[in-house]
Amino acid sequence: MLRRELLGGLALTHLLGAATHHPAKAKRVIQVFLSGAASQCDTFDYKPLLIRKAGEKWDPGEKVELFQSNPGVVMPSPWGWKRYGQCGKWVSDLFPKVGACADDITFIHSMMSKSNVHGPATFMQNTGFILPGFPSAGAWVSYGLGSLNENLPVFVVMPDPRGMPPNGPANWGGGFLPAAHQATMVKVGTQTPIADLDPPQGTYVTPRSESDGLALLQRINRDHQSARPGDTRLEARIASYEMAARLQLSAPEVLSIEGESAATRKLYGLDDPRTSDLARRCLVARRMAERGIRFVQIWSGADNGFPRRNWDSHENLKADHGMLANELDGPLAALLIDLKARGMFEDTIVCWTTEFGRMPCSQGSLGRDHNPAGFTTWFAGGGFQGGVSYGATDEWSYKAVEKPVYCYDLHATLLHLLGIDHKRLTYRNNGIDRRLTDVHGEVIREILA
Amino acid sequence: MKWLLLIAVIPLAAQPVSFERTVQPILNAKCIACHPATNGAAEVSLASFGDLKNLIIPGKPEDSPLWHVLRGPKPRMPKGGSPLTVEQQRAIETWIVEGAKDDSKDSRWWSLRPLQAGPHRSIDAYLRAALQKQSLTFSATASRRVRIRRLTFDLHGLPPTPEEISSFERDPRPDAYTHLVDRLLASPRYGERWARHWLDIVHYGDSHGYDKDKPRTNAWPYRDAVIRAFNQDLPYKDFVERQLAGDVLHPSDPHAIELTGFLAAGPWDFVGHQELKEGTMEKNQTRSLDRDDMVATAVSTFSSMTAHCARCHDHKFDPIPQEDYYRLQAVFAGIDRADRPYDEDPAIAIQRRDLLQDRLALQRRIQPLLDKVEFASTPEIVVLDDRIQDASLLLAHLGTPKTPGQQADKQRLEARRTADRAARQQLVDALIGATTYNQIEALKLEIKQLDDRLAALPKPKLVYAGTSFFNRIGNFRPALAARPVHVLDRGSVTAPRQQVSPGALRAVNGVDASFAAVEEGARRAAFARWVVNPGNVLTWRSIVNRVWHYHFGAGLVDSPSDFGRMGSQPSHPELLDWLALWFRDEAKGSFKQLHRLIVMSQAYQQDSKYNDHAARIDADNRLLWRMNRTKLDAESIRDAALAASGKLDLSMGGPGVRMFWFKDDHSPIYDYARFEPSSAGAYRRSIYRFIVRSVPDPFLERLDCPDPSVLTPKRSTTLTAIQALAMWNNPFMLHTASQLAARVGGNIQLAAQLVFGRELSATELQLYRQYADSHGMANLCRLLLNANEFLFVD
């Protein structure tokens, strides 16, 4: 408490209804991170020029420095495009169900990254820095706002079951913030979704030894403490075992989707093997949001490697983006629909994030190389307008030319909606009052409802 | 925390309000972020006394603009921040009433002033003098049982054994404690414990970090060399010099070369270095950020300054111009992080060094020619490049063929690629011409002759270090000479300004901070000499404060790697300076003597008992009216649990123990859940574990073990439900508890002695026995290892 005030963080307690810098529009965030760099020009950034000039030598009028290759020919998206909703948004056939939600989405087409390498760029979207060692946005939110539900963690991450993204768990670490703010990893649908939540099977621990043991432990800790007054840490540690016991009861309930209706199962696509994993994770995310978890991050895509298991489609865009989009489209759209149906859409931010975009020209004959100069991200719910497109790339979908946006602005806007002034949420580390937004960031007011 | 404390210490109204000790710290805490030194620009600066002249009328707060904007419950300043407290406002008002005098001895920031000891000649005398001003005293000396547990954890990171406790408690010699201190400092466990602190400061890890986090299999010789340096009590000057330039200054000393692992301790971007093409902006950025890490690590470790804050602009708070930062980058501009060969035998070491230097000279000649070939380009070549890449991409995507059709595709693509490569080679050959090729071949022959001679030497050892002696891998190539370093406008590689020569911080008076050195190694040697110069006040203050921090749980300066304006100020400036001088001149940089001096002090040996009266005056115990109770750090918890269980394996050194399941994939996989707590090496001390950057050990991480990519001069301590669950349920803890149970049989007293270091009372024993009777000894031991009494050291 004292420490936070002095370090410049919000002077908040970790209690319900904590004060914010200004009234918050949103209470929580669900972020889907498309690891490996999802293409903007095959999803939401429609450029008819690519279709007209298909197969021609690509000449944007300047030297282009690519990650792996020389620029190839102009490559139109292998998917068709349709207009959706009142807003008439063009969305490719890769994401028809998300497209149908276009009126609820704010698209930002003028994203830029400071790195075209997955590791640093993935760090950037998560932490605001291209170097390791900085806290992720979720950790900052945990530090700034604390918990809505003392019996559950504040920040939860559900990685792709195929593996970790580039940088691994460092993407959702607490950096220099106290360890309490790092994400709790939840491996949905596995034997042990949360590490150490319960003792492993087949040990000497029994339900009785557990309950008697905790009672005795608390007793001896209290005896120890009463002989040592004036040390709040001893009390805090006693309390932490009580919280742990509550967490043991609440966590399985959040993860259990057995009670969900048949309609909900169908909406998310739980019973279709293609979508069942993301359906489960999106549904669990909704359950987490309902129960007060502040920040939920869902990963689509794991590390690099073959066969491709992330969005890094250097070799064969159609095959690899196609597979991943098939998994994600239905469950993600279902999440938006479900949040609306439950009246949670207004105070829950859903975001689509990727580390950079892909080139409008081909790499080899079937793939696309990295493009840090222009890509798309989107938001829905929680104080954003719907049916809006902000910023633009050039006619090729190559470079952000209109209202360029960096992650700093996204983070500033996100924090703003959560009631936090990004310039005043700071933590002193190695001589600098660090912020999620470094020394940058403007709230994008134009897209707020 | 800082300024509240200062207020507590101000004897109100007893003496005039000090600008230096009271007013300036308030301005620094509340104003300077928006009003830094402006270097003569028009904006308002509140950085120094001189800056305040126009804002203050001495004696007349009512007429002073500064006072007007700060006063009252809703003042105009600080804009957007909380107002000054009533006490702070009163202090500034009183200071103006009293004439607004500048009482600073020296206008420079405290850490840059000359070392100036006070009148006393012992730690206790300095501390007692400060306590007396507040009418406080030291607490009583702690019991022997408390002191041996405290001292053993402090110096070894391990608990004392029951035998050690009872023999110390019974030792009739008046200097029993001295004997204890000597015994502990002589043990190799001491080096293991204190090396761990050092590895925090320099962010040591056994993998690269970032994407494709590859194992760094030869990092450990540095870790072992640090342990050895502590155990052999290598003087601090030598310890510093060897870490920065051991290869240059002591080329035939293997341990000196191992210590250059310091330069490479931090993370490294595999993709950026090894996959990005030479000559691209992204490559330049990768290298610039790599040097940034070296600068940040070296300057914060040895000088406790935040030079890295001057990468994009002049330092906002400290006298570090942007150019100084890039001069520091130039110190490291000739090295990369790589496996470096070295030898045990001094004679071989010299032979190898000479051969490697000759080889470097040849590489300097051949590289431009090779680059001509590598970057040869015509439109026709580009077409072939694209076709070759296309084939490679499609082949990679195809993977292992599963159908005859795929098999045919694979063969077709491979044939096409082979033909294209041959055609490309022909085009390149025609472009380059025979003369160049002949030169290349001749030089290659010379290099081969050197390589044969190198191969004839005994097989070298390898240490992951800062070096230019490594062979190219992919697009990762050594600098053949120090790379040019420019001041970068806003830190951007796309906006280079003037080129700079190597140098250090010019703010340190009396030590030449501009280096004439041109050669790679000479640059680092010059920097090392700058650091260890007896006149470099930062060096000596920094290190004694670090040692103090680890002994007491808080430094005299509570920001051990930041002695700038954004850091804390010393609670006992004269003591800090006396210690620095004593360490430098009397102890000749001996850590063991410094430890002895500190742990023998009365301050260190006091009780940690709480005292209402003292706490009201000095709640944070900055004056040390009692010893701080400390919580065991992550590694100590693990090691102590193993020690109690009797399983602790004390074998020293060697490659890191992989306490995870590992698969070396495209992006390697580290899985801690698939590691058996009884596997080979699982009982080694925590310092010997293999430290993965991207996937930290989840158990230790929850116990506040820091991210190995972060420079950590001071660990944070949290107490969370997730942490409680880790202690309660982690397989390591359950396994260790059952080992402890097996060790003690049914002897509950022994278990308590091993874990708590004391005997149980009859009441406690009865409670524990009841529980053990119902649920078994393993469950009881699990409970003991979760008790606060185990985790906290009085």
Identify whether residues B503 and B446 lie together within a single domain: no
DSSP B134: T
B449 with B503, same domain?
Answer: no
Is CATH 1.10.3720.10 what the domain over A2-199+261-447 is classified as, yes or no? no
Put simply, the answer to whether A304 touches B667 (Cβ < 8 Å) is yes
Mean pLDDT on B242-259: 97
In tens, the pLDDT along A337-359 reads 999 999 999 999 999 999 999 99
Q: Is the pLDDT assigned to residue A85 strictly greater than 60? A: yes
Residue B709 has pLDDT above 80, yes or no: yes
Q: Which of residues 340-379 of A touch B (CB under 8 A)?
A: 363-367
Q: In this model, does residue B30 exceed pLDDT 90?
A: no
* Whole-number percent of chain B with pLDDT over 70: 97
A117 with B293: Cβ contact below 8 A: no
Asked if residue A261 lies in contact with residue A107, where contact means CB atoms within 8 angstroms, the answer is no
Q: What percent of chain A has pLDDT over 90?
A: 83
- Alpha-carbon torsion, ordered B678, B156, B712, B342, to 10 deg: -80
* B335-to-B132, B216, B386, B470 alpha-carbon distances in Å: 53, 17, 33, 10
B257 with B331, same domain? yes
Kindly list the residues from chain B whose CB atom is less than 8 angstroms away from the CB atom of residue A312.
none
Task: For residues B382 and B477, state if they share a domain.
Answer: no
Average pLDDT rounded to a whole number, residues A319-344:
98
CB neighbour list of residue A111: distance below 8 Å, 6 or more residues apart = A40, A356, A357, A374, A375, A376, A377, A391, A400, A405, A406, A407
Listed by number, the residues of chain A in 35-64 with a beta carbon closer than 8 Å to a beta carbon of chain B are none
Residues 6+ apart with CB under 8 A from B762: none
ipTM of this complex: 0.84
Give chain A positions within 8 Å (CB) of B695: 164, 168-170
Is residue B556 in a domain?
A: no
Domain endpoint, select from B509, B532, B555 = B532
Q: Does B155 score more than 90 pLDDT?
A: yes
Give the nearest partner residue to A192 out of B391, B609, B673, using CB atoms: B673
Mean pLDDT of A93-104: 98
B338 and B467, same domain (yes or no): yes
User: How far apart, in whole angstroms, are the C-alpha atoms of residue A328 and residue A274?
Assistant: 9
So what's the pLDDT on residue B38?
57
Residue B324's H or E segment, with its range, is helix B322-331
Check residue B85 and give left, alpha or beta (phi > 0: left; psi -120 to 50: alpha). beta
Which residues of chain B are within 8 Å of residue A177 when distances are taken between CB atoms?
Answer: 716
More confident residue, A166 or A12: A166
Confidence tier at B14 by pLDDT (50, 70, 90): low
Residue with the larger pLDDT of the pair A64 and B168: B168
B571-582 pLDDT, tens digit each:
999 999 999 999
Q: With both helix axes pointing from N to C terminus, report the angle between A276-290 and A317-341 in degrees, rounded to the nearest 10.
A: 30
Both tokens assigned to A51: 């279709």
| Of B21, B51, B13, B18, residue with least CA distance to B35 | B51
Residues whose CB falls within 8 Å of the CB of residue B542, separated by 6 or more in sequence, listed in order: B302, B303, B304, B560, B561, B563
Q: How near does any CA of chain B get to the CA of A370, in Å?
A: 12
Does B481 share its domain with B336? yes
Judged by DSSP in three states, A343 sits in coil
Q: In chain B, which residues have their Cβ closer than 8 Å to the Cβ of A309? A: none
Long-range contacts, stretch B474-478, CB < 8 angstroms, 24+ apart: B474/B274, B474/B275, B475/B273, B475/B274, B475/B275, B475/B276, B475/B277, B475/B278, B475/B283, B476/B273, B476/B274, B476/B336, B476/B338, B477/B278, B478/B336, B478/B338, B478/B360, B478/B363
| Mean pLDDT, rounded, for B358-378 | 94
Answer whether B394's CB lies under 8 Å from B413's CB.
Answer: yes
Smallest CA–CA distance, residue A313 to chain B, in Å, is: 10
CA geometry: angle A255, B676, B739, nearest 5 deg: 105
A-chain residues within 8 Å CB-CB of B325?
A: none
Work out the average pLDDT over B421-436: 94
Examine residue B650 and state whether it is found in any structural domain, yes or no: no
Q: Which residues contact A182 (CB under 8 A, 6 or more apart)?
A: A136, A139, A155, A172, A173, A174, B701
Nearest to A37 by CA among A401, A282, A313: A313
Q: How many CB pairs under 8 A join A and B?
A: 306
Residue A14 DSSP class: S
Question: Is the predicted pLDDT of residue B646 greater than 70, yes or no?
Answer: yes
- Specify whether B303 is located in the same domain as B238: yes
DSSP state of B260: G
The 8-class DSSP code of residue B657 comes to: B
Residue A387 in contact with residue A85, Cβ under 8 Å? yes
- B377 and B276 in one domain? no
pLDDT 10s digits, A271-314: 999 999 999 999 999 999 999 999 999 999 998 878 899 999 99
Q: Which residues contact A226 (CB under 8 A, 6 or more apart)?
A: none
Q: Is residue B96 part of a domain?
A: yes
DSSP letter assigned to residue A171? G
B665 at interface of A, judged by CB pairs closer than 8 A: yes
Interface check A67 vs B, CB under 8 A: yes
Q: List the single residue in A with minimal CA-CA distance to B664.
A: A305
Is B445 among the domain residues? yes
> Residue B12 pLDDT > 50, yes or no?
no
Query: What are the chain B neighbours of A198 within 8 Å (beta carbons)?
Result: 729
Q: What is the pLDDT of residues B530-589, one digit of tens each?
A: 999 999 999 999 999 999 999 999 999 999 999 998 888 999 999 999 999 999 999 999
| Host domain of residue B513 | 220-343+460-532
Mean pLDDT to the nearest integer, B504-518: 94
Q: Does B257 lie in the same domain as B314? A: yes
Cβ within 8 Å of residue B55, ≥6 positions away: B44, B64, B65, B66
Flag if B209 and A367 touch (Cβ within 8 Å): no
Contact B225, B294 (CB under 8 A): no
Nearest to B721 among A3, A247, A307 (CB): A247
Distance in angstroms (rounded) separating the CA atoms of residues A437 and B183? 51
* Reported confidence tier of residue B105, pLDDT bands at 50, 70, 90: low
- B492–chain A Cβ distance below 8 A for any pair: no
pLDDT in tens, B57-84: 888 888 888 888 888 888 888 887 788 8
Cα angle at B283 between B281 and B289, to 5 degrees?
A: 100
Q: Measuring CA to CA, which residue among B709, B665, B692, B707 is closest to residue A302?
A: B665
Burial class (CB in 10 A: 0-12, 13-18, 19+), A16: exposed
Question: Do residues B152 and B634 lie in contact, with contact meaning Cβ atoms separated by under 8 Å?
Answer: no
Query: Is-contact A447 A108, C-beta < 8 A?
Result: yes
Looking at the structure, tell me whether residues B476 and B339 fall in a common domain: yes
In chain A, where the domains are located: 2-199+261-447
Terminal-to-terminal C-alpha distance of chain A: 33
- Cα dihedral B759→B763→B765→B766 (10° resolution): 170
Domain boundary among B107, B130, B151: B107
**Mean pLDDT, chain B, integer:** 93
Confidence of residue B10 (pLDDT cuts 50, 70, 90): very low
Nearest-neighbour CA in chain B from A359: distance (Å): 15
Closest Cβ–Cβ partner in B280, B389, B693 for A65: B280
Considering only the beta carbons, identify the residue of B385, B393, B764 that sits closest to A315: B393
Tokens of B213: 């986090």
* Predicted local confidence at residue B106, as pLDDT: 65
| pTM for the structure as a whole | 0.87
Find chain B residues with C-beta within 8 A of A6's C-beta: 1-4
Q: What radius of gyration, in Å, describes the C-alpha atoms of chain B? A: 30
Query: Would you call A233 and B309 a contact, using CB atoms and an 8 Å cutoff?
Result: no
* Distance between CA atoms of residues B280 and B672, nearest Å: 38
Instruction: Note the pLDDT of residue B375.
Output: 92
Q: Report the pLDDT value the prediction gives residue A16, as an integer from 0 to 100.
A: 37
Residue B267 to residue A132, Cβ atoms within 8 A: yes
Q: Flag the least confident range among A339-343, A393-397, B52-56.
A: B52-56
User: Chain B, 315-344: which have a CB under 8 Å from a chain A CB?
Assistant: 317-318
Interchain contact A430–B (C-beta under 8 A): yes
Q: Distance between alpha carbon B727 and the CA centroid of its chain, in Å?
A: 26
Do residues B315 and B398 share a domain?
Answer: no
Count of alpha carbons within 13 angstroms of residue B473, beta-carbon side: 12
| Residue B72 belongs to some domain of the structure | yes
Highest mean pLDDT among A175-184, B20-29, B349-358: B349-358
Residue B108: left (phi > 0), alpha (psi -120 to 50), or beta? Answer: beta
Q: Using the 8-state DSSP alphabet, how is residue A354 labeled?
A: E
How far does B257 lie from chain A, in Å, by closest CA?
27
pLDDT exceeds 50 at position B28? yes
pLDDT at A304: 80
Distance, CA of B256 to CA of B243 (rounded, Å): 7
Chain A residues inside the 8 Å CB shell of B669:
163-164
Cβ atoms A65, B280 nearer than 8 A: yes
Are B324 and B224 part of one and the same domain? yes
Contact indicator for A123, A132 with CB cutoff of 8 Å = yes
What is the number of helices (H) and of strands (E) in chain B? 33, 8
Identity (one letter) of the amino acid at B156? H
Q: Best mutation site among B1, B692, B722 for testing chain A: the one with the most A CBs within 10 Å?
A: B722
List chain A residues with CB under 8 Å of B389: 68-69, 363-364
Tens digit of each residue's pLDDT (9 = 90 or more) over B306-338: 999 999 999 988 999 999 999 999 999 999 999
Kindly determine whether residue B738 and residue A169, on different chains, have CB atoms separated by under 8 Å: no
Is residue B73 included in any domain, yes or no? yes
Chain B nearest-CA residue for A431: B566
CB neighbours (10 Å) of residue B65?
A: 13
CA B581 to each of CA B116, B299, B505: distance values in angstroms, whole numbers, following the listed order: 8, 20, 21
The chain B residue lying nearest A70, using CA atoms, is B386
C-beta atoms of B764 and A220 within 8 A: yes
Interface of A with B in 127-186 (CB under 8 A): 130-133, 153, 163-164, 166-170, 173-180, 182, 184
Residues of A whose CB is below 8 A from B289: 130-131
The amino acid at A187:
K
Give the H or E element holding residue A435: none
Contact between residue B538 and residue B112 where contact means Cβ atoms under 8 Å apart: yes
Q: Distance from A135 to chain B by nearest Cα, in Å? A: 11
pLDDT at A441: 97
Are B641 and B733 in contact by the 8 Å Cβ rule? The answer is yes
Instruction: Give Cβ neighbours of residue A22 (< 8 Å, ≥ 6 apart).
Output: A419, A421
- Among B404, B421, B456, the domain-final residue is B456
How many structural domains does chain B have? 4
- Which residue in A27, A29, A62 sits closest to A396, CA to CA? A62
pLDDT tens digits along B181-203: 999 999 999 999 999 999 999 99
